[in-house]
């Protein structure tokens, strides 16, 4: 029977079943500074980490972007988390990249960059954006701290098999459209709850035309549609991307792995529980106006008018979001003024993202109060500096900072002030996400750059 890629990978990791639940083997467990709770739970019970050879980690959530020194962290609680992170990894002999290591970065950037993220694996991490790793053709999903401890103890997880959904985007890539715009359009289309209970496979000619970086961005935001995971079939682009990465297989092992990977894509005729399609040719650069990632519209569009919404609850939600965001119904997106710009996060901080933003910024000055770039890893930062991108940004008035989750979640203290409006390349525009009272708009790196040099949202297609 024709099988989906999801089925093939799931079945290859199923240890046993009990009452319709599967005990699923975990191939890789990626960790970050927030994984400390898992180690603590194991210690409490006197259990050893079962497979340190299948774990890797780097701190990202609490890492400062203005310094590489743990002493510079804002609170003693944060400093403690850091010390414990290092101790746990060293004591268990787990591969990890501490803050002072050039390979440190955001775990969802570092995983693919180092080659931990490989096709055909079940990958978990105590972070919801673990869906990122599905871009190479893996089942990758976020888990809570109890499950983190469970994986550390057993290298397995109890899971109910999700339903499958294929989202197909065919068509030529329109000028100025990136993976970020595509995934925002997908979330707007199926809704923030549209993917709940599903494993999503993205397919179609536009998805195949996307670079690996863009595919990582698309899969990264699967969780914003509620999906358990998002994945894209591996192809030559995937294999080219992985070849030669430090932790990717090499030599005869590469050949063996490649043969396995080539058999992963969904078989022709494989049935999905649900199919959705978007017209790629109709996509445009997107901006979110509200407080859910589903509140995304084309940059040429307007803030919706709640009066047009028939459903009472939805109307109230629209009114609440417009009020929080300090906008007016029907306001043109390009009339919205921006106070701060953030280019970074596991969604959009890879080298290609920085190049796209730098291209727009080059030779211009920022017209917002504050703008900064936090590259996704130390290695990306180094590469960008070799390409001279750091100077492009700093000459335009951006700050060029170190790598961390930073203002995507604000846990390291990188936040905006109440009432300020940001253009952000991150993944969540939730109320207060970037600081109490802060108004977040999600955009692609090029659109964030266009906003930075315009002082308001601007259509990147109008920039030469």
Partner 1 sequence: MEPFKTFSAVAAPLDMLNVDTDQVIPARFLSRPLDERYGTYLFHDLRFDADGNEKPEFVMNREGFRAAQVLVADRNFGCGSSRENAVTALAAAGFKAVIAPSFGDIFYSNSLKNGFLPIRLPDETCRRLREMLHEGPGGEVTVDLESQTVTAPDQSTWSFEIDPFQKNKVLQGLDDIDFTMQFLGEIETFEQGYDARMTWVTTRPG
CA distance 56 to 94: 6
SS3 315: helix
113 binds partner 1 (CB under 8 A): no
Torsion sign (Cα): 409, 414, 416, 421? negative
Q: Please tell me whether residue 133 binds partner 1 under the rule CB under 8 A.
A: no
Q: What is the rounded distance in angstroms from the CA atom of residue 363 to the CA atom of residue 353?
A: 18
Minimum Å distance from CB 192 to partner 1?
5
Identified binder of partner 1 from the candidate list 431, 443, 449, 454, rule CB under 8 A? 431
Smallest distance, Å, CB 370 to partner 1? 20
Q: Which parts of 372-401 interact with partner 1 (CB under 8 A)?
A: none
- Residue 7 and residue 14 in contact, taking contact as beta carbons nearer than 8 Å: no
x-or-dash pattern for partner 1, window 189-228, by CB under 8 A? Answer: ---xx--xx-------------------------x--x-x
Q: How far is CA 211 from the centre of its chain?
A: 15
| Cα dist from 286 to 64, 92, 359, 419, whole Å | 30, 44, 18, 22
Tell the residue number behind the tokens 């009272």, with chain if given.
437
Closest by alpha carbon to 198, among 223, 159, 235, 227? 227
Q: How far is residue 16's CA from residue 275's CA, in Å, rounded to a whole number?
A: 29
**Binding segment (CB under 8 A) for partner 1, from list 115-123, 234-242, 281-289, 298-306:** 115-123
Nearer to partner 1, 160 or 382 (CB): 160
**Tokens of residue 52, six digits:** 């340190």
Span interacting with partner 1, options 169-177, 278-286, 311-319, 441-449, rule CB under 8 A:
311-319
Which of 2, 244, 246, 363 contacts partner 1 by CB under 8 A? 246
Question: Binders of partner 1: how many residues, by CB under 8 A?
Answer: 83
Residue 108 found at the interface with partner 1 (CB under 8 A): no
Among residues 250, 6, 246, 270, the alpha carbon closest in space to that of 119 is found at: 6
Instruction: Reduce the DSSP state of residue 253 to 3 states and report it.
Output: helix
CA geometry: angle at 224 spanning 222 and 225, to 5°? 70
From 6, 10, 28, 89, residue interacting with partner 1 (rule: CB under 8 A): 28
Residue 128 binds partner 1, judged by CB under 8 A: yes
Q: Which is nearer to partner 1, 323 or 385 (CB)?
A: 323
By the rule CB under 8 A, 112 interacts with partner 1: no
197 contact partners, CB below 8 Å, separation of at least 6: 162, 163, 226, 228
- Interacting residue with partner 1 among 171, 369, 397, 437 (CB under 8 A): 437
Q: Please, what is the minimum distance in Å from the beta carbon of residue 205 to partner 1?
A: 30
| Interactions with partner 1, residue window 255-274 (CB under 8 A) | 256-257, 260
User: Among 10, 39, 85, 116, which residue interacts with partner 1 (rule: CB under 8 A)?
Assistant: 116
């Amino acid at each position: 029977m024709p099988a989906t890629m999801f089925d093939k990978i799931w079945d290859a990791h199923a240890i046993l079943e009990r009452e319709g639940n599967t005990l699923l083997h975990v191939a890789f467990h990626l960790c970050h500074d927030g994984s400390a709770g898992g180690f603590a739970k194991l210690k409490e019970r006197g259990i050893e980490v079962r497979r340190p050879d299948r774990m890797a980690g780097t701190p990202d959530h609490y890492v400062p972007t203005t310094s590489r020194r743990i002493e510079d962290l804002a609170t003693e609680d944060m400093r403690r988390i850091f010390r414990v992170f290092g101790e746990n990894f060293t004591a268990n002999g787990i591969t990890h990249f501490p803050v002072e290591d050039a390979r440190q970065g955001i775990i969802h950037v570092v995983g693919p960059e180092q080659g931990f993220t490989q096709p055909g694996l079940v990958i978990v991490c105590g972070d919801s954006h673990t869906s990122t790793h599905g871009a190479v053709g893996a089942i990758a999903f976020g888990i809570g701290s109890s499950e983190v401890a469970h994986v550390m103890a057993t290298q397995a997880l109890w899971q109910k098999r999700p339903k499958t959904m294929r989202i197909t985007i065919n068509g030529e890539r329109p000028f100025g459209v990136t993976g970020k715009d595509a995934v925002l359009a997908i979330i707007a289309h199926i809704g923030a709850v549209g993917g709940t209970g599903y494993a999503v496979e993205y397919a179609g000619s536009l998805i195949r035309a996307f670079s690996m970086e863009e595919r990582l961005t698309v899969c990264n935001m699967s969780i914003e549609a509620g999906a358990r995971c998002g994945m894209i079939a591996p192809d030559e682009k995937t294999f080219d991307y992985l070849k030669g990465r430090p932790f990717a297989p090499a030599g005869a092992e590469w050949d063996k792995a490649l043969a396995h990977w080539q058999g992963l894509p969904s078989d022709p005729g494989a049935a999905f529980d649900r199919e959705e399609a978007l017209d790629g040719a109709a996509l445009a650069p997107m901006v979110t106006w509200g407080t859910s990632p589903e509140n995304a519209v084309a940059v040429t569009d307007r803030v919706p008018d709640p009066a047009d919404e028939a459903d009472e609850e939805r109307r109230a939600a629209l009114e609440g979001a417009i009020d929080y965001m300090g906008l007016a119904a029907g306001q043109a997106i390009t009339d919205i003024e921006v106070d701060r710009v953030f280019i970074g996060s596991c969604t959009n901080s890879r080298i290609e993202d920085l190049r796209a933003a730098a291209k727009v910024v080059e030779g211009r000055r920022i017209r917002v109060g504050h703008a900064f770039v936090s590259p996704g890893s130390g290695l990306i930062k180094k590469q960008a500096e070799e390409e001279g991108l750091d100077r492009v940004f700093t000459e335009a008035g951006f700050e060029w900072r170190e790598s961390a989750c930073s203002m995507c979640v604000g846990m390291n203290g990188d936040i905006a002030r109440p009432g300020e409006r940001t253009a952000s390349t991150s993944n969540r525009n939730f109320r207060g996400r970037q600081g109490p009272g802060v108004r977040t708009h999600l955009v692609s790196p090029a659109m964030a750059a266009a906003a930075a040099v315009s002082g308001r949202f601007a259509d990147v297609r109008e920039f030469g």
